[in-house]
């Protein structure tokens, strides 16, 4: 398997941030529209992902189909019941996914429209961050199935080591 077709796995430490809605207004002095994110720490989170990725990514951006698996790890709140592993509260996974997809654009792949099979999940763990698994995909059902199995194995390994 060529280096480009191998799965790329990386962990970015930090509290995952969602890329929420934006608010737009017009600058009265210039007449230009200004877009402001409603989420405070999204830019720092995306920059952290880009920084770690730039240290590890040694290939050109993928210009084909990309499968992307994200496992978001959140700190366990003290009030959470024992045995609960899955993060099923805000921020929602689609907005977390959006922030990571945008951070990977231009470095790992040419356009986030290349991501055809995103799989985000959220769990509780000791070290907050995001596990990113991506691969340029051959466009066959077998290739997608193999990627899904790989993602499932990674989830299982993380959950097996988690303390409920």
Residue 157 sits in a domain whose CATH number is 3.30.1330.70
Please compute the mean of the pLDDT values over residues 23-52 and round it to a whole number: 81
Looking at the DSSP bridge assignments, the partners of residue 124 are 74
Angle, to 10 degrees, between the axis of helix 42-56 and the axis of helix 93-104? 50
What's the pTM value of the predicted model, to 2 decimals?
Answer: 0.83
Average pLDDT, the chain: 86
Q: Find the domain containing 141 and state its range.
A: 3-161
pLDDT in tens, 58-115: 999 999 999 999 999 999 888 887 778 889 888 989 999 999 999 999 999 999 999 9
Number of separate domains in the chain = 1
Q: Give CA–CA dist 56/8, Å, rounded.
A: 9
């Amino acid at each position: 398997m060529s280096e480009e077709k191998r799965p790329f796995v990386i962990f970015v430490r930090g509290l995952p941030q969602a890329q929420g809605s934006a608010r737009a207004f017009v600058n009265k002095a210039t007449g230009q529209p200004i877009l402001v994110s409603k989420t405070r720490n999204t830019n720092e989170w995306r920059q952290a992902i880009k920084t770690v990725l730039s240290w590890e990514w040694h290939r050109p951006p993928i210009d084909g189909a990309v499968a992307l698996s994200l496992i978001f790890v959140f700190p366990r709140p003290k009030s959470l019941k024992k045995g609960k592993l899955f993060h099923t509260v805000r921020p929602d996974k689609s907005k977390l996914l959006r922030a990571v997809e945008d951070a990977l654009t231009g470095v790992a792949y040419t356009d986030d429209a290349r991501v055809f099979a995103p799989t985000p999940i959220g769990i509780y763990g000791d070290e907050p961050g995001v596990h990113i698994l991506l691969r340029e995909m051959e466009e066959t059902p077998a290739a997608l199935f193999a990627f899904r199995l790989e993602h499932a194995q990674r989830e299982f390994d993380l959950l097996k080591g988690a303390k409920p």
